[in-house]
Amino acid sequence: MTEYIVKESNLTEFFQAVSQNRTLLSPVGQGEKCRLEPTTPDKIKLDFANTHLSPKASFFPQTERLLAFHKDKSLPNSNVYQDLGDKAQDCVLFGLRPCDAKGLTVANKVFQNDRFVDPYWKGKYEKALKIGLACLKPSPQCFCAAVGGSPFGEQGLDVLAYVKEGGLGLKTLTEAGEALIKSTKAESASLSNEIQKLEQEAYGLQKAEKDSYKVITERDLMEVYNDPHWPFTAENCLNCGVCTFFCPTCHCFDIQDEQSEKGGVRMRNWDTCMSSLFTLHASGHNPRPTKVERVRQRFMHKLKYIPIKQDGVFGCTGCGRCVVMCPVNIDIRDVAAKMCRPTQTAKV
């Protein structure tokens, strides 16, 4: 849509303007402590790599209480579940990396589609204006280019910002984003040449080759599923939940009821396909009895099933969190490379 610049000296004023009547969320803290949290306009960081946890928790918290009841018979509606409702407030997110913004769009299609609309996700997702921050220096584990993304990716964002000499460059991408930036003192500018140049440079800094895993989406589903490498790929997996909990697109949850003598609550909690319990049936049967099936499920879901359901878009956005966090170095880039072509022998 339109391009703008904000001078370095006006940044605090700019963040004040965009967060007028809204909560401002942005990465705070260093390194492992870097989290997306409510903050103030004067504390915006521009020099972070990415948040430790993905931003999904802001829309899909690890525990979300959905319904509650009380047991006090002297009051109305005792022992009847009441909707706790959507308490989402207007907010603006500054500093979403393009991989994470794209990750939210993948999850968004799971929570809002022509079959279901999840009110808890919808409320939070739609009340958030999203300003991305392009990656000028991708981290060593980044590979967004390989899965159809870009360090300057625009999906899921209302505005894309980037750090430029003397301040911020901005490109508005939606009407809401345009209205937001127009309400500030940002100056119009023509930035498309600079953006194109910086994007190419940032691509160059990534080790990943553009669209190198695209061939997975073209292969026969059962052929990828039945490849003999899976038992070996899964062999060192601990079946912990690190990859799924850190993933910006993993969205599986478990509904639980808890009660005390006073009342009860129905909630949903993050779940993980790495856990044996995830697929354990009430009968005792488990369709994914070993870690081989579970590990295959995770990668098939990211790189095969989601593309089938979401027009070829991968369920992995190349943020690299699982690559770094996996305690046993199961590297999704290696697994994706194996999924690109038939494995010749069982040996890996």
Partner 1 sequence: MAAFEEITKKIRQSAKTLLESGRVQTVIGFRTASTPLNAAPVFIRSAEDCDKLIWNSFCRLNLANYLPGREGKVALVTKGCDARSAVGQVSENQFLRENLYLIGVPCSGMVDNQKIEAKEPRPIVEVEESDGVITLKGQDFSTSVKIEEVLRRNCLTCSNRTPKLADELAGPETSSPAADDYSDLKALLSKPLEERMAYFKELIKDCLRCYACRNACPLCYCPVCFVDETLPQWLGKSDDPTDTFIFHLLRGFHCAGRCTACGACETACPVNIKVREFNRLMELSVETNWNYSAGLSWEQKPPLTVFQVDDNADFIK
Distance of CA 150 to the CA centre of its chain: 15
* Per-residue CA distances from 124 to 130, 145, 146, 249 (Å): 12, 28, 30, 16
What is the per-residue binding string for partner 1 in 47-66, x denoting contact by CB under 8 A?
A: --x--x---------xx---
The yes or no reply on residue 258 touching partner 1 (CB under 8 A) is yes
81 token code pair: 């579940």
CA-CA distance, 69 to 82, in Å (whole number)? 6
The yes or no reply on residue 230 touching partner 1 (CB under 8 A) is no
Among the listed residues 116, 52, 7, the one whose alpha carbon sits nearest the alpha carbon of residue 322: 52
CA-CA distance, 155 to 2, in Å (whole number)? 16
In the bound complex, what is the minimum distance in angstroms from residue 85's beta carbon to partner 1?
19
In the bound complex, what is the minimum distance in angstroms from residue 213's beta carbon to partner 1?
15
* Per-residue CA distances from 154 to 133, 251, 257 (Å): 10, 22, 39
DSSP letter for each residue of 114-162: SS-B-HHHHHHHHTEEEEEE--SS--TT--GGGGT--TT--TT-SEEEE
Number of shown-chain residues binding partner 1 (CB under 8 A): 41
What is the per-residue binding string for partner 1 in 10-49, x denoting contact by CB under 8 A?
A: --------------------xxx----------------x
52/102 with CB nearer partner 1:
52
The yes or no reply on residue 272 touching partner 1 (CB under 8 A) is yes
Among the listed residues 87, 68, 111, 79, the one whose alpha carbon sits nearest the alpha carbon of residue 257: 68
The yes or no reply on residue 201 touching partner 1 (CB under 8 A) is no
In the bound complex, what is the minimum distance in angstroms from residue 65's beta carbon to partner 1?
8
Q: Which stretch binds partner 1 (CB under 8 A): 67-75, 122-130, 217-225, 273-281?
A: 273-281
Q: Which residues bind partner 1 (CB under 8 A)?
A: 30-32, 49, 52, 62-63, 137, 139-141, 232, 235-236, 238-242, 245-246, 254, 256, 258, 267, 269, 272, 275-277, 280, 323-325, 327-329, 331, 333-334, 347
